[in-house]
Structure 1
């Protein structure tokens, strides 16, 4: 599931690997709603947002009671040891950049050479407008995971609420899913393998089956009154504030 920042991209085509002829895209809905938009004019604020916030440390203290346990794994799941995906030199370079960023943020750690590795998940690198994106391929793990049925808001309901607003403010959580701590027991299922090592997630990664439901539950419990009043729309890690003044 992709948020507001994704749908605002001019070019929604993605490629996997270096073959530019193999593309895929996520198409937006056809329904259009007219809203009032206030453009930001404070240059200092824009500079702060673009330079300072992107370098801000993630705070795990806000979510230390929302640990992702992966307790719904079906019993007797087989050992899921999968090899790393082949990658071009360009994709490997992008992969190394993403891994370093998450290591610096404390979202994952590198496995030591004396640690036993039983479960590994490959990583997929996709490119869009010259920029790379990385996500773990947890398909095998998801097969053995019982789905969390916690409801994700319907887009149509959110659009109806937005249509009644005069002003709309959008917020996007910084490294959203990664803000959730993963319990030590669950980490062994969330190890990824790349061309130069094995890494273990300490924060919840993208791509696991119940991540959206888990994050939606956390957000609803964080803003219960605002959410029930109807002026705050929460769609996983995207927040929309609707107001008439």
Structure 2
């Protein structure tokens, strides 16, 4: 599944090379040459992952990583540090600052994509193309299809994204605000009741097979996807 990836790199040639490889891999690319520009892009459109160069003009990348981890809105945002510094202590410093991974320059496009996919699987599984199955309910992001006990289910695009997020974050309770941020995007301004409307549509699409029971209402808190009985 395409991810929105912010590349924060001040060397134009390296930035262009990374962007080209990401686009070839099917991802959408946002670009910034310094922390100020990156901050604006994160504020306007929260990305799915940040590729962050350590050595940037003005504010260093490691300081920006600490800022992202200190902000509740970006605390869970996956970060991969890019740097020419290969010493063990530098890697430890990057990871201590909140980076999920650390890639030393020069690196191959294959290694970059492998690291991105690994971090997304770990931190943002809804951004991967791996099929998921729970109790006879199967969702395949690559083909954008859902099956209930082997039979195709007809879901709208928003219901599909909502179900994908639920299935990749099973057993967790999500508030309406959290679902709006994760499924619609925190830069899209819609009312919280919109979530309830799409939950009803999703349950209706799964009702015939009984899989609507997997989407549970948690009173006073939000919704949870669970194969366990309440």
More relative contact order in 1 or in 2 (CA 8 Å, sep 6+)?
1
Q: Identify the TM-score tier after normalising by the shorter chain.
A: under 0.3
TM-score (norm 2): 0.24
TM-score (norm 1): 0.23
More helix by share: 2
